[in-house]
């Protein structure tokens, strides 16, 4: 068995990584770290993980591969020595996602500790970077919002089906904020509530732009992105709106659906459906469900994607990346269907 | 006291009308009807309304004014005799909202029973039609989505601040579907879920177009509207996106906010805020909260509105209309602040 | 108008007191304090209270009556100078509820700063202490759980209908924990969850014992009380189980119901119903709904009560107390029916 | 592979059975029936099960073993021909749970179609009937409430640690009512609500009595059972209260915990914990979590159990039974840990 270490298992992404890897046929979690929980059994923080019989450590032991669920800045700091030693790394923080150090600094208000790594790291949206991942030692797992939005937009954008004026409106469960004691995420505040945020610019926006521009350099996408907290724990539903490109205005819903089905044919974790998806159909699974249609009244493409932010938008995607890095079957450990209802 | 009759008190809008009118200083509910509940005390269907000591009837008694919470088609049928007798009527169905009989037929798949009334009825979005309501005997209370969306867009649209390419993305609680036994609205199906619907065209869309066109005839608005069910009972949050019009692209967020504050200065039930609203801040109140900003990266206006679909998006707005029809103070019976948390 | 001051308006009980008093016909909130929010408009912490146009202060201004929503220990410290000056006080903390200083110290792990006041203060469960409140300057509003449990048990216990072996099982919304940043009350942790707590002994237990013993000195009640967090914001449902007393085993459900109806006849805020209550039927109202029945198979009385922990189990009850202290009508400002659904 | 047929896959227990069996190493679902969904792909009713690529039929095909998720009466009717043919059957309805035909008729208001089978069928609470299941062709999976309550009470009751006066108070998610269009289970009615029901006697009560009496014939248990709907989809938390038996009143919490740990030592799906369980720690898993303590003030045992009503309280337990019937490892297909948060 290949040994895996998880940095910051006490956060939700770290814990979900541990849960998913429990049934992975080729790897085994052997070392996990976590700030406040260090020195205690993992079961004390997460009773549902008691069967893993793991203790939380201060320092990572020797492992074959590392998955970091640390927050940005802290993650790079912890990972640099491991990267220097040549240990393969999947990073869930934003530290290695953006290719531009200045963009990183502008959005994260801190200088990057090793900007040259930004060119080496691979953006781990597997469906778009599958060929680059196997040879890489450093994969940056995408943010939860970019996963759903870029998968929703990529086929149309790549083909020039849509123009650059793109609206991305996301509805997310509270677990995206992590395991936090912030009063804004208290039950009494979020229950029975919809809370828009990030209207001044959300940190995931540069990922949208980077990935779409990579698929089609010109024109530059002009994306407005607004996320909204809704009263649920897991799940992101993203609704994308874009004008059909000049000359493509008569595209029908059926044609758009055919384009999407072809684009994702054979993808194990993207399913293009005949009806709009619901987030609950992805609960606990690594699937991203996509529905595309055309608003013929306005010649506009509307694409909806749904995923579990802690699986395809988080831990699951990181494992998908790890599988490819290690030469394992891409779907290993990721075949759960959703829990419903 | 002026006597009020409520048609279909057994639905949520009817029950909420009864609840709100209990503290109205000038009117009193004296007769209520309801299909299945006829012949029983209202408290049997709605224990929270026991203090009203009302019995549900099959037929409406003699009243000075009628508020109908019947579904479309059924409402017109029940109201026509009352209208013919000259009884003032507020209708919560869609039967008298649209000015065009052919639009009505296209969206509601039924011929209108009295098309000439469509020209006489007033669209009861008080903030836009305040002057027309006092002389009217027939007011059509707006749909819950148009209330939030039109209030969010009206100031910018009227001033030509935005172009016609408008996206309206709404997140709504389940009570908008009414008191229904449909499995799609069962707790186990909607809990922990976001469900987009109406992607082929929602019946509230023609109300958006009609009301915006009335404010500014040209260009015709090109609106794409997608509503989403989120796991809560009350509340609608609507996020609107539109390009700043040619020549207005350098409008700042502050300028847009100033425009909105002026547009709604003195409005008792619209509050333009300095931060994005949350639906829970409107729970049980007749307020529509609005926040406007500019996405300077894309020269786009973003407007968010929040309201309680059963109050400002329903029963409360109907009472606001009734107050004006009867020459009463517009705010009578509607001064509740929201229940929070 | 009588002027009211609220200590700690930034907590949920304080904010709810402000909301309810807004429509009180005889009093007006003129001064409010709050730790972190001092110096800011109240609307910044609680946008739903913007209409009150209050600023949060560090120190209370001169007022005719004070309602304290401070936590225990802090409340007594803040109130002692006011009590010494003879200002009438309603205290929502536990500082003046228990008659026994040693019980207070045993449960709250702190010495009482002025034990002699424990004999002077009145336990503000209005339905049981109505006669003592008008002459008092210091009323201790009961805990949220004792309100529902003692009202549920009092009629049967006072009449000797039940034996001393009493089980009290409560289900509570998260707002009972207050506005807190504790991760245990985070949305992601409480959503879709039932969490029992306090199994080693909950601080509200001595209130149960004190109040029942006051109604009937012998035998001493033997109560086991277990509260459970359920995924909602407001509301407590309490289910009480007790054996029918020797000689009363053949009591029927109808007889028990008759006893309860008589016991609470004329009570403005207790309603004995013909069917089990639901917490949502009390949302935002000052009602305590009670249902009593007999499990004839086991000769056991079962009583269920429902209330809104922030109103009848909190702010509303404090206002009921204040009304009596000041010689005002007991129901002033408290006539809201519940918000449903 | 052994072929399995599921009767009524369109209900939640049927669908959950299909989900769980997808990863079972020794069996494969080959035929599923469902009333309204017959003739359609299963994915139309349950998109999360698309990966199973099953079509719903009117009639069951030839299979090696049948799991019925039909409601009572309908289940017996459908199963009798299969039983007569000697096909091994696990039944999730109540039709074969009770040993007494008169008890069945009293609670289910219908004559039993084949009373003699009641003596042959095995009550499938594996932890109590493990030895009887392997030789049986007809296993009746227990109700969701009895599973949690009997597992919580069995160790103490069997040892005579507690007296007969037992209170069982359960809090359940809405999925226990099945996939139903009943307005009482509509989102808007159950959200933010606690609803007690069955106070006149719940159909699961005779299962409690039968199973406890089987463990210890005398005295007869005197159980009062009240279930409560709480606003979540899955999960049951059951709190049991019983007096320590005469002579055992000084039993400590530690002694009780030791007794329980021993009683369930080696059980794969019962875990006796050091802290009270939460339902969310069982979501999607086949675990029943138990915590026992003593209320020393009243010499009373308090036991709390938590489980997922669709897994250990439903489909998972049925598979556990099936595994034993077929001579397979008891845990096959049931090793999921819970999904958290």
User: Pick from B231, B318, B338, B329: which is nearest to B12 by CA?
Assistant: B318
Q: Tell me if chain C has a CB within 8 Å of the CB of D302.
A: yes
Which of A44, A183, A187 to mutate against chain C (most C CBs within 10 Å)?
A187
Pick from D179, D281, D339: CB nearest A339: D339
Q: Which CATH class is domain B2-142+312-325?
A: alpha beta
Please list every residue in chain D whose beta carbon sits closer than 8 Å to the beta carbon of residue C197: 276
Q: Which alpha helices (H) appear in C65-204, and where do they start and end?
A: 74-85, 101-108, 117-120, 126-129, 144-158, 187-190
pLDDT tens for each residue of B298-325: 999 999 999 999 999 999 999 999 999 9
Instruction: Label residue C35 by pLDDT band (50, 70, 90).
Output: confident
Question: What average pLDDT does the structure give for chain D?
Answer: 97
Residues of D in contact with A175 (CB under 8 A): 341
Does A217 have pLDDT greater than 90?
no
Sorted by sequence, the CB contacts under 8 Å of residue C131 that are 6+ apart come out as none
Residue C171, chain D, CB below 8 Å: the answer is yes
Mean pLDDT of C153-171: 98
Q: Which residues of A are known to be catalytic? A: 144
pLDDT at C243: 98
Burial of A36 (0-12, 13-18, 19+ CB in 10 A): exposed
Question: Is residue D217 very low, low, confident or very high in pLDDT (cuts 50, 70, 90)?
Answer: confident
Q: Which of B195, B232, B279 sits opposite A278 (nearest CB)?
A: B195
Shortest Cα distance, chain C CAs vs residue B118, angstroms: 32
The CATH architecture annotation of domain B145-308 reads: 2-Layer Sandwich (3.30)
Distance in angstroms (rounded) separating the CA atoms of residues A258 and A269: 18
Tell me what the mean pLDDT of segment A34-59 comes to.
95
User: Which one-letter DSSP state was computed for residue C281?
Assistant: G
User: Which residues in chain D are contacts of A48 at CB distance < 8 A?
Assistant: 280-283, 285, 337-340
Alpha-carbon gap, residue C178 to C185, rounded angstroms: 10
Query: Which residues does chain B have within 8 Å of residue D190's beta carbon, measured at their own beta carbons?
Result: 187
Q: Name the residue of chain C whose CA is nearest to A184's CA.
A: C181
Q: What is the pLDDT at residue C39?
A: 94
Under 8 Å between Cβ of D198 and D226: yes
Mean pLDDT of D106-126: 97
User: How far apart, in whole angstroms, are the C-alpha atoms of residue C7 and residue A14?
Assistant: 42
- For the cut 90, the answer to whether the pLDDT of residue C217 exceeds it is no
Interface test with A, best of C188, C196, C283, C284 (most A CBs within 10 A): C188
A275 at interface of C, judged by CB pairs closer than 8 A: no
Kind and range of the H or E run holding A80: helix A74-84
- Convert the pLDDT of each residue in A169-194 to its tens digit: 999 999 999 999 999 999 999 999 99
Q: Chain D contacts of B188, Cβ < 8 Å?
A: 12, 173-175, 177, 179, 185, 233
pLDDT level of residue D107 (50, 70, 90 thresholds): very high
CB A290 within 8 A of CB A260: yes
Average pLDDT over residues A238-264: 98
Among chain A residues, the shortest Cα distance to D338 is held by A48
pLDDT of residue C2: 98
DSSP conformation letters of A123-164: E--HHHHTTTSTT-SEEEPPPHHHHHHHHHHHHHHHTT-B-S
Closest CA to C198 of C230, C229, C167: C229
CA distance C18 to B185: 35
User: Cβ of A340 and D48 within 8 Å?
Assistant: yes
Distance from CA of C231 to the nearest CA of A (A): 8
Across A37-41, C190-194, D152-156, least confident range: A37-41
Confidence of residue D135 (pLDDT cuts 50, 70, 90): confident
Nearest by CB: D167 against C167, C199, C341: C167
Q: Do B230 and A171 touch (CB under 8 A)?
A: yes
Whether A312 contacts A283, CB under 8 Å: no
- Profile chain B (341 residues) by mean pLDDT over runs of 10 residues: 97 98 97 93 96 96 98 97 98 98 96 96 98 96 98 98 98 97 97 97 96 94 98 98 98 98 98 98 98 98 98 98 98 97 98
Q: How confident is the model at residue D35 (pLDDT cuts 50, 70, 90)?
A: confident
Q: Do D173 and B188 touch (CB under 8 A)?
A: yes
CB A259 within 8 A of CB A156: yes
Position with higher pLDDT, A188 vs D217: A188
Q: Which residue of C has its CA nearest to D197?
A: C276
CA distances from C236 to C285, C307, C309, C339, D53 (A): 13, 6, 6, 16, 45
Q: What is the pLDDT of residues D41-73, one digit of tens each?
A: 999 999 999 999 999 999 999 999 999 999 999
Q: What is the rounded average pLDDT of the residues C215-222?
A: 93
CB contact under 8 A, C191 and A12: no
User: A50 contacts in D (CB within 8 Å)?
Assistant: 271
- Residue B283 near chain C (CB below 8 Å): yes
Q: Do the Cβ atoms of D164 and D219 come closer than 8 Å? A: yes
The secondary structure of residue B247, as a DSSP letter, is: T
Give the right CATH number for A145-307 from 3.40.50.620, 1.20.58.60, 3.30.360.10, 3.30.70.920. Answer: 3.30.360.10
Strand partners of residue C138? C89
Helix (H, G, I), strand (E, B) or coil at B245: coil
H or E element that contains C2: strand C2-7
- The pLDDT confidence band at residue C205, using thresholds 50, 70 and 90, is very high
Chain C residues with CB under 8 Å of A180 CB are 183, 186
Render pLDDT for D322-334 as a digit per residue (tens, 0 to 9).
999 999 999 999 9
CA of C275 to nearest chain D CA: how many angstroms apart? 9
Q: What average pLDDT does the segment A154-167 reach?
A: 98
Cα torsion angle, D120, D126, D128, D133, sign: positive
Closest in D201, D222, D226 to C239, CB measured = D226
Kindly list the partner chains of chain B, i.e. chains with 3 or more CB atom pairs below 8 Å: A, C, D
Tell me the average pLDDT across A304-325: 98
Of all helices (H) and strands (E), which one includes residue C140? strand C138-140
Q: In the annotation, is C240 catalytic?
A: no
CB-based contact, C175 to chain A, within 8 Å? yes
pLDDT by residue (tens digit) across D10-33?
999 999 999 999 999 999 999 999
Q: Which CATH architecture has domain C2-141+314-325?
A: 3-Layer(aba) Sandwich (3.40)
Q: Where are the domains of chain C?
A: 2-141+314-325, 145-307
pLDDT tens for D223-269 read: 999 999 999 999 999 999 999 999 999 999 999 999 999 999 999 99
pLDDT tens digit sequence for C70-114: 999 999 999 999 999 999 999 999 999 999 999 999 999 999 999
CA–CA min distance B106, chain A (Å): 14
In Å, how far is B231's CA from the nearest CA of chain D?
8
The pTM score is 0.98
Nearest CA in chain A to C230: A187
Sort strands D65-68 and D222-229 into parallel, antiparallel or unpaired.
unpaired
Interface membership of D191 toward A (CB under 8 Å) = yes
Residue C135 pLDDT greater than 90, yes or no: no
Contact D192 C280 (CB under 8 A): yes
Tell me what percent of the residues of chain A surpass a pLDDT of 70: 100
């Amino acid at each position: 068995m290949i040994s895996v270490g998880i940095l910051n298992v006490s956060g939700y992404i770290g814990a979900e990584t541990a849960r998913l890897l429990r049934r992975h046929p080729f790897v085994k979690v052997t070392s996990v770290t976590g700030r406040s929980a260090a020195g205690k059994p993992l079961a004390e923080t997460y009773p549902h993980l008691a069967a893993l019989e793991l203790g939380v450590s201060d320092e990572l032991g020797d492992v074959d591969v590392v998955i970091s669920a640390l927050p940005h800045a802290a993650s790079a700091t912890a990972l640099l020595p491991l990267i220097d030693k040549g240990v393969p790394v999947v990073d869930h923080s934003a530290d290695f996602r953006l290719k531009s150090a200045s963009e990183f600094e502008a959005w994260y208000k801190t200088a990057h500790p090793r900007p040259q790594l930004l060119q080496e790291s691979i953006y781990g949206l597997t469906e778009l970077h599958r060929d680059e991942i196997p040879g890489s030692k450093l994969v940056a797992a995408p943010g939860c919002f970019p996963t759903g939005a870029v998968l929703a937009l990529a086929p149309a954008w790549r083909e020039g089906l849509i123009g650059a004026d793109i609206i991305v409106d996301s509805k997310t469960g509270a677990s995206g904020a992590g395991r936090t004691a912030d009063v804004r995420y208290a039950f009494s505040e979020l229950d029975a509530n919809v809370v828009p945020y990030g209207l001044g610019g959300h940190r995931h926006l540069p990922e949208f732009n980077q990935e779409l521009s990579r698929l089609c350099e010109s024109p530059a996408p002009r994306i407005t992105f607004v996320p909204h907290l809704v009263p649920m724990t897991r799940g992101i539903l993203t609704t994308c709106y874009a004008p059909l490109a000049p000359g493509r205005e008569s595209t029908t819903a059926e044609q758009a659906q055919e384009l999407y089905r072809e684009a994702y044919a054979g993808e194990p974790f993207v399913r293009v459906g005949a009806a709009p998806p619901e987030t609950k159909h992805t609960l606990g699974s690594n699937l991203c469900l996509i529905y595309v249609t055309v608003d013929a009244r306005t010649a506009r493409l509307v694409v909806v994607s749904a995923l579990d932010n802690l699986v395809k938008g988080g831990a699951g995607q990181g494992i998908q990346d790890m599988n490819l890095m290690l030469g394992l079957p891409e779907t290993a450990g990721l075949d759960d269907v959703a829990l419903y209802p």
